[in-house]
Amino acid sequence: MFRNRSLHFPFERFGIDTSHWLLKCMAGWVFIQSSVLVRTVYVGHRTGKVAILSRLSCERVGTRFNVRGANSQGCVANFVETEQVITFDECECSVVLVRGSVPLFWEQPGVQVGSHKVKVRAFEASASAYHRHFLRLTSMYGKTTVVNLLGSKEGERALSDAFRTQHKSSKFADIVEFIDFDYHSQMKISKESLVRLIKRLAPFTQASSFYLYKDGNVRSEQCGVLRVNCLDCLDRTNSVQTAVGLLVSAYSVARDQVASLNLESGKVNVAQRIEEILRDLWQKNGDLCSNIYAGTGALEGKSKV
């Protein structure tokens, strides 16, 4: 996934192990709340750090409207792997989430904003790319669950239907769970709809667990991933990923696995402080994802969770 991979090839042809000699560059961003100038989580004499790292894939690069869907290798546009990390002393807890365009052959041709109509290729054309995409996901991350946030508007509905149909006909129909959630429609009905979605995702997040390093040992490892998408994989996707990140944070705190800390230290509720920082970081994460792919910040400034 590193951006300068092609520069490593000439050395690798001569059998040189480039991992010892050449740096790997990523396109993305890292937010770490760890300094006095920003914000820090203090518990007595201990200092905690909260970070979000997003890594943009180099496999299918391009901007919104110009690059959509998958290529023949199953790599999709705006594929971003985001890792949420919480550390206290020698304890580290992290979870990985991914987002990416609908893994079909589809496009949005047009020049004027609003004239970009969704066009999806024939069902058979996308079958191979779809298979390769989920083969790669399950190989890299293990158990995978799709959270499809596409709506009921004409273009989105056609794309969502094609996505669902392709999935039901694929070899991953019984392996990869497919969850539909019309974000805009459901949020108009009630803001509690997102809470219900997160409750629905809770069994999966618990089963796939998260990475936990404590007392010099790896106590648990993440064995699955949530793949979230909307049309652009920006605002709606970031909102749901924020909620999932907060859920995993609550798991780690509730189980008291963040360094066995006393979470009610004096007047400071550490769990609440971590949540506040995470909300802010996820909002900034959404802005930067949007800046790279769409050229502007996220339309939804504050999270709806």
79 within 8 A of 57, measured Cβ to Cβ: yes
Per-domain residue ranges of the chain: 32-103+121-258+269-294
Whether 104 shows a pLDDT value over 80: the answer reads yes
The string of pLDDT tens digits covering residues 128-165 is 999 999 999 999 999 999 999 999 988 899 999 999 99
Structure tokens at 126: 């996308």
Whether 86 shows a pLDDT value over 70: the answer reads yes
Residue 259's pLDDT is: 45
The string of pLDDT tens digits covering residues 88-102 is 877 888 999 999 999
Strands (E), 127-176: 143-148
Across the range 180-203, mean pLDDT stands at 96
Across the range 3-20, mean pLDDT stands at 79
Q: In whole angstroms, what is the distance from residue 219 CA to residue 178 CA?
A: 29
Supply the mean pLDDT for the chain.
Answer: 85
Residue 35's pLDDT is: 32
Q: In whole angstroms, what is the distance from residue 225 CA to residue 223 CA?
A: 7
Q: Tokens 């799709």 map to which residue? A: 146
98 within 8 A of 225, measured Cβ to Cβ: yes
The string of pLDDT tens digits covering residues 207-226 is 999 999 888 899 999 999 99
Which pTM value belongs to this model? 0.85
Indicate the SS3 state at residue 258.
Answer: coil
* DSSP state for residue 299 in the 8-state scheme: S
Whether 257 shows a pLDDT value over 60: the answer reads no
Across the range 27-32, mean pLDDT stands at 55
